[in-house]
Amino acid sequence: MNQINRALFGADFQWGVSTAAFQIEGAHTADGKGESIWDAFTNKKGKVRDAHRADVACDFYNNYQADIDLIKQLNIPNFRFSISWTRILPNGIGAVNQAGIDYYNRIIDYCLSKGIEPWLTVYHWDLPQVLEDKGGWTNRDIIQWFTEYTAVCAQHFGDRVKYWMVMNEPSVFSGAGYFFGIHAPGRTGMKNFLPAIHHIVLSMAAGAKKLRELLPDAEIGTTFSCSHIEPRSNSKRDIKAADVADALVNRLFIEPILGLGYPVSDIPVLKGLEKYYQPGDEQNMHFDFDFIGLQNYTREIVKYSFFTPYISASLVKAKDRNVPTTVMGWEVYPPAIYHILKKFDAYPQIKNILITENGAAFPDELIDGQINDTKRTEYIEANLQQVLKAKQEGCKVNGYFVWTLTDNFEWAEGYHPRFGLIYVDFDTQERIVKASGKWYADFLK
């Protein structure tokens, strides 16, 4: 592999690391925090592997200074983290919890004191349970709830935070949470999925407009999970299945935000969205973001499937294809990130692209106090080669954030997959910088 170095990406390229509140903070009832859908979901039997819970997680709530010191030690200039909605609005709307506001102000101020730029994600999956009890994303009132919450964030943090991401991976939290039921809140079926899609799109745009109104000088983005999709064969049916999967996975949320509407011609079941439309929605779905965050980990191979309702497509699992995989069962395929960048770069409405998450979980072994995670280093390096290739071909990609800083609570997988540049002993909360973290620090030096 050609040696890659930071200078090749240009002086203005943004380098960082990403995290999410629920996955790292712990302190799940501390200082007036309310219950989120993930707090409730982890209480349900059989929902999270080995009944793991995030009550303590990485205890970032109490360890944030030491962890930000590690970010500084690793030469990482940008830190992406999310706000816990129920920490600052325990009831979802209404009374503000000053202790929660103070906590995030301490994080922001400490980052800035260390010369680290804070990047805020407004919503990273932890909806207040009290709002879920009223229908959550299936209730149109959530557009107003979310806008109010976004305004609180802007009013309290906007004087020091320049970079904002409205939402994290809407296709994942809507699909896994409101169609398959494998993530919080555990709802299933089209009757939940369709209204959730539409209200998420409207909320994403409404939240962005509120940020623009209150913080005219801010850089406002939002992030999307993307997988490079390929058909299993050149048969017409497999190609059509891949097109449908691509529309569902990669186009469902970005296209309405860009003013292109939903990809109904590829996924006819989306015609069912019409019943949730109200006058003005088409205009209100659109927002001109300063940047789009893309989060890519793998590619998917898709085949025609008569038995899959609505889309007639199914994935050919990586383990059945005899390819290298991560602990998550995802294929290690670095060209995926190149193809995704080219795909999104082709939308003329997108002004700027950042890779806001990319990383891998491998079975890390602690030997003599060291984690020699060569596969993770190789994964990051190979992905960066592909990002550079796209950039050198004129793609408007101007940032790369590793997922993630520390090993953490990985949603329904619990603590099993370790994605961190830093190893966490969840019993003692000891941190050990992995070889991949040291590599990233050297790369960024």
Phi, psi of 17, deg, nearest 5: -140, 145
| Cα angle 418, 419, 420; round to 5 | 100
Catalytic residue among 255, 300, 357, 381: 357
> Tokens standing for 76?
């990482």
415 by DSSP, 3-state: which? coil
Asked if 357 is an active-site residue, the reply is: yes
Q: How far is CA 130 from CA 37, 108, 172, 212, 307, in A?
A: 9, 28, 21, 28, 37
Q: Print burial letters for 292-312: b (CB count within 10 Å at least 16), e (below 16).
A: bbbbbbbbbbbbbbeeeeebe
Q: The dihedral of CA 30, 33, 34, 37: what is its sign?
A: negative
Q: Which of 122, 304, 320 is nearest to 223 (CA)?
A: 122
Q: How far is CA 274 from CA 261, 277, 300, 312, 313, in A?
A: 11, 5, 30, 22, 24
For residues 389 and 345, what is the distance between their CA atoms, to the nearest angstrom?
13
400 by DSSP, 3-state: which? strand
Decide: 377 and 331 in contact? Cβ < 8 Å: no
Q: Which helix (H) or strand (E) holds 16?
A: strand 14-18
Catalytic residue among 25, 132, 169, 300: 169
Whose tokens are 């990669």? That residue is 250
Decide: 322 and 413 in contact? Cβ < 8 Å: no
For residues 413 and 364, what is the distance between their CA atoms, to the nearest angstrom?
16
For residues 330 and 361, what is the distance between their CA atoms, to the nearest angstrom?
9
Q: How far is CA 302 from CA 238, 309, 325, 415, in A?
A: 7, 15, 17, 29
Contacts of 13 (CB under 8 A, 6+ apart): 6, 398, 399, 400
For residues 103 and 101, what is the distance between their CA atoms, to the nearest angstrom?
5
Asked if 35 is an active-site residue, the reply is: no
Q: Which residues are catalytic?
A: 169, 357
